[in-house]
């Protein structure tokens, strides 16, 4: 708040006027990435960032085909809504989009999820090619938040990224949900999977509530785009936004929020699994840092989704002054994603309330 108000009182303008703040922030942000990712463009929303990534991928590859997961959400522009099957059949995916199941170790067969995910991506690419559509990109949310939250197994993204690159496409990691330390293992969700994307989209936590978002990419992708196309975004990367973005990075570092996410998150997962010993409806608990999914089922053998019980629990928690959402195609996964300052005490409060609300089912 101090960074925002201080800069707002000095100057706010768009990026046609040169200012130092955008350079300082861009350098600091890029230092958080693997060395291959050396270029950034700022936007105001995650949807704009993903829309720009879409254009970059098409321009860099000459392709138009995209592969996404079956219940993905990547944003609300016309192009990106057509890459967001979770919006439902009235929106519909584009004829150039192919959907693959997210790697779901809880419901999948015994096959290794990474091998299976890569072979699904390969099949989608083959289908695009068979229809005369050249592949442009594989686009995934690196924690599969809307598909039901699948942080594991570690390494699951790498073979799929290889598959799209072999077909001439690029790999885009959507870090709008998983980015900025939430997974408790470095800054980015893709970092847990030991893969370097060609393009990364950022948003949400980037401004801690202030609308700043962006695209980070390999420099050749951005320079190729820059030579052929223009991109201008009036409120993207303003002096105020860049000061705010910088303050967010300062606080993540100063308060060791990545460590906090890892430590509190893993204790919370333990506590939630403990609740599973007493409440049969808990089918699976999975998480990375402070991004945790609790999948609720009517029967642990058939794994039939407990959709109504999930809604009841969300409301039971709300009555106990705790806000959580639900996610997944069957809306039967509690999405526990608290602020990164979440303390051990806060976690205990949540566990007690959840125990209580579960007993009420
Ligand atoms: C994974 C993911 N990508 C992109 C977006 C779009 O971001 P925004 O709402 O800032 O446009 C969202 C928003 O929920 C998201 O969850």
Q: d(Cα 68, Cα 93) in Å, to the nearest integer?
A: 10
**CB 68 within 8 Å of CB 135:** no
Q: What is the pLDDT of residue 90?
A: 84
Q: Tell whether ligand 1 has an atom less than 6 A from the beta carbon of residue 177.
A: yes
Q: What is the pLDDT of residue 92?
A: 87
- pLDDT class of 110 with cuts at 50, 70, 90: confident
pLDDT of 180 > 80? The answer is yes
Using alpha carbons, select from 216, 204, 200 the residue that is nearest to residue 291: 204
Q: Which of 77-81, 92-96, 185-189 has the lowest mean pLDDT?
A: 92-96
* Residue 90 exposed, middle or buried by CB count within 10 Å (0-12, 13-18, 19+): exposed
Q: What is the pLDDT of residue 257?
A: 98
Residue pLDDT, tens place only, 117-148: 999 999 999 999 999 999 999 999 999 999 99
Q: What is the pLDDT of residue 32?
A: 98
* Nearest CA owner, ligand 1 atom 4: 74
Phi, psi angle pair for 142, to nearest 5° = -75, 0
Q: d(Cα 326, Cα 348) in Å, to the nearest integer?
A: 20
Q: Which of 48, 50, 148, 206 most suits a substitution to test ligand 1, by most atoms within 8 Å of the C-beta?
A: 50
State mean pLDDT over 291-317. Answer: 98
State mean pLDDT over 90-112. Answer: 91
What is the model's pTM? 0.97
Q: Which atom of ligand 1 is nearest to the CA of 45?
A: 10
pLDDT of 297 > 90? The answer is yes
Q: What is the pLDDT of residue 236?
A: 97
Q: d(Cα 260, Cα 290) in Å, to the nearest integer?
A: 9
- pLDDT class of 80 with cuts at 50, 70, 90: very high
Two tokens, residue 333:
């996964």
Residue 110 vs residue 320, higher pLDDT: 320
Q: Tell whether ligand 1 has an atom less than 6 A from the beta carbon of residue 174.
A: yes
Using alpha carbons, select from 217, 110, 101 the residue that is nearest to residue 160: 101
**CB 114 within 8 Å of CB 193:** no
């Amino acid at each position: 708040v101090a960074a925002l108000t201080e800069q707002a009182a000095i100057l706010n303008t768009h990026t046609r006027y040169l200012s130092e703040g955008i350079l300082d922030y861009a350098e600091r942000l890029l230092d958080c990435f693997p060395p291959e990712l050396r270029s950034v463009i700022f936007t105001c929303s995650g949807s704009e960032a993903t829309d720009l990534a879409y254009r970059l991928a098409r321009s860099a590859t000459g392709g138009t085909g995209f592969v996404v997961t079956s219940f993905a959400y990547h944003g609300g522009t016309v192009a990106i809504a057509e890459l967001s099957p979770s919006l439902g059949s009235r929106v519909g995916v584009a004829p150039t989009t192919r959907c693959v199941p997210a790697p779901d170790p809880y419901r999948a067969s015994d096959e290794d999820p990474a091998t299976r995910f890569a072979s699904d991506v390969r099949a989608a690419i083959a289908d695009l090619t068979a229809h005369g559509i050249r592949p442009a990109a594989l686009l995934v949310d690196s924690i599969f938040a809307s598909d039901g939250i699948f942080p594991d197994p570690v390494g699951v993204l790498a073979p799929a990224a290889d598959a799209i690159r072999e077909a001439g496409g690029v790999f885009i990691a959507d870090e709008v949900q998983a980015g900025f330390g939430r997974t408790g293992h470095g800054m980015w969700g893709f970092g847990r999977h030991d893969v370097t994307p060609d393009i990364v989209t950022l948003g949400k936590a980037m401004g801690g509530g202030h609308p700043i978002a962006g695209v980070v990419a390999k420099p050749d992708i951005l320079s190729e785009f820059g030579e052929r196309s223009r991109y201008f975004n009036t409120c993207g990367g303003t002096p105020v936004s860049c000061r705010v973005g910088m303050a967010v990075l300062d606080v993540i570092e100063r308060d060791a929020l990545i460590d906090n996410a890892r430590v509190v998150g893993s204790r919370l997962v333990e506590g939630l699994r403990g609740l599973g010993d007493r409440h049969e409806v808990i089918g699976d608990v999975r998480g990375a840092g402070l991004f945790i999914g609790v999948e609720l089922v009517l029967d642990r053998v058939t794994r039939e989704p407990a959709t109504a019980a999930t809604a009841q629990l969300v409301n039971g928690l709300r009555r106990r002054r705790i806000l959580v959402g639900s996610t997944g195609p069957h809306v039967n996964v509690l999405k526990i994603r608290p602020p990164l300052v979440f303390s051990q005490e806060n976690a205990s409060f949540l566990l007690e309330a959840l125990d209580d609300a579960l007993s009420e089912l």
